[in-house]
Structure 1
Amino acid sequence: MNKKKAIPENYMTVGELAKKMGTTVRTLQYYDKEGLLSPTTESEGGRRLYTHKDMIKLHQILSLKSLGFSLDDIKNKLISLDTPEEVANVLNEQSLAIQQKIEQLTEAVTAIETLKNEVLQMQVVDFKKYADIIVNLQMSNEYYWLIKHFDDTTLEHIRNRFDKESGMDFMHRFNQLNDKVIRLKEKNIAPEDKQAQALAQEFWNMVMEFTNGDMSMLPTLMKFDNLIGDNNEWLEKQKQVNEYLQPALELYFQNAGINAFEGV
């Protein structure tokens, strides 16, 4: 009886509020500690007391938390919302944030499925190659699938030779060169034509840039002419480029006095 008289009318203890709102005393104590929801007053006996206004505030906290808002967001900018327009604006912000998370998770699922397919195509377990593929997927490098075809020596060379920016730049320039070669092929430009010879020189310069002058890598790079599967469109285009450039390269080497395979 005395205990009940110690609680003023329209006030609730922390236990009563927790029970009404379907939460725990520990949660309310944590909110109090974090300055998110403190009791309105204390009883004569030192019991922490809450009002119905506090209950409405707690309902707001729990509702916003269920929508994905962090406690910091709720504490710093959401509790003071007073108008429907303000509530709608912050809900819109949260909706956009959730959509971004969905997109990120979707990309992660796609990357996992892609890596799974790549792993099944590889003959042995090779976590170093797996890591390379993951990095390139995160970079949105559409040529990630080439990695499984490289041997360890070539991969190590690529890791040391290129970073993200220079690697993407190299592939961009390489594809631009391929486009120029295809245009010459469609025009039936002869291998000895100065345009074809200029592209042969540009192609060879890119080979030298990629290998850093290490001609021992040429046999490995030449194996890529015989790849099948994966990105068939890119591989078919590369095959056409190589077939057109081969006679032009031979003429270029002859005129420049270059023996590309000397010592290989």
Structure 2
Amino acid sequence: MIKHKAIPQGYMTVGEVAKKMGVTVRTLQYYDKEGLFSPSAESKGGRRLYTDKDLITLHQIISLKFLGFSLDDIKKRLTSLDTPDDIANALTEQADDIRKEIERLTASLTAIEQFKKEVLQMQEVNFKKYADIIVNLQMKNEFYYLIKRFDDDTLDHIRNRFDKESGLDFMDRFNRLSDEILRLQKDNVPPESEKCQQITEAYWNLIMEFTGGDVSMIPKLVEIGNIDHAANEWEEKQKIVNDYLESALQVYFSRLGDNPLGEVEK
């Protein structure tokens, strides 16, 4: 580095550069410390001195930083941006990184808005449920909002019985079975028909799988499943399924000679 007794013509101090380029002196000192942007000369009194050529380099740094490049990336790329293709490739890579970050931030924003909606609907502070909702939002489980309907005991049962993979698999099978029931209802298939009874049996087996065979959980599930006013398309579908299954289950239990819903009805 060239040393000067005074500030010669064509050189600028760090303060002058900072003012001219709209950055702080501290920023320029940090860039110097990181080996990203160092002065071309120094006065004998230790003052950093810059040239117009240095300003061109600083302008590149500021521009790349504005485009989202990290300081490490800028440090690596400043020496290799020699051709238009080099610059175009660097910008393409950065654009891809920014798109990924936009997707991540968009997903986070959506999750925050969904979570806020659930908190307001719950009208209670329950961090256990909050945690479950957040986990399901992270899993992209579209049925996260059902969590607010469960009491703590039922949620503990779900946590102990299902992990991420098995929980999503259960909901997938439940929805596919619900779609089959909807088709039966739409085709006016009688609840007592053999076709309907086969699907009713599959539905009941799915409920027993959920409870682990614990019929004492049935009243809670019936309460949770009662939908007076559907809030979305899924709930509207389940309301139709529940109405159709009410008669089908009565036939099914009658044939079994045992009605585990008897206590609920009482």
Alignment map for 1:161-172 (pairs within 5 Å): 161-172=161-172
* Preserved CA contact (<8 Å) 2:61 2:74: yes
| Structure 1 residue 155 displacement after superposition | 1.3
Distance 1:188 1:24 in 2: 75
Alignment map for 1:11-90 (pairs within 5 Å): 11-42=11-42, 48-90=48-90
Distance 2:216 2:51 in 1: 80
Q: State TM-score, norm by structure 2.
A: 0.83
Distance 1:230 1:69 in 2: 48
Q: Summarize the Cα distance change of 1:72–1:8 in structure 2 as closer, same or farther, 3 Å threshold.
A: same
Distance 2:220 2:78 in 1: 60
| Structure 1 residue 37 displacement after superposition | 1.9
Alignment map for 1:92-107 (pairs within 5 Å): 92-107=92-107
| Structure 1 residue 249 displacement after superposition | 2.6
Q: State TM-score, norm by structure 1.
A: 0.83
- 1:115-142 per-residue CA deviation (whole Å, 9 max, x = no partner) reads 3332222242222222222222232222
Q: Summarize the Cα distance change of 1:89–1:256 in structure 2 as closer, same or farther, 3 Å threshold.
A: same
Alignment map for 1:128-143 (pairs within 5 Å): 128-143=128-143
1:211 maps to 211
Q: 155-164 or 118-127, which moves further after superposition? A: 118-127
Letter in 2 for 1:160: N
**Identity over aligned residues, as a percent?**
64
| Structure 1 residue 146 displacement after superposition | 1.3
State the SS of the aligned residue for 1:37.
Answer: coil
Q: Summarize the Cα distance change of 1:211–1:77 in structure 2 as closer, same or farther, 3 Å threshold.
A: farther
Gaps of 5+ in 1: none
1:234 maps to 234
* Preserved CA contact (<8 Å) 1:57 1:79: no
State the SS of the aligned residue for 2:142.
Answer: coil
Gaps of 5+ in 2: none
Distance 2:183 2:240 in 1: 11
User: What is the aligned length?
Assistant: 262
| Structure 1 residue 12 displacement after superposition | 4.0
| Structure 1 residue 78 displacement after superposition | 4.8
RMSD over aligned Cα, in angstroms?
Answer: 2.9
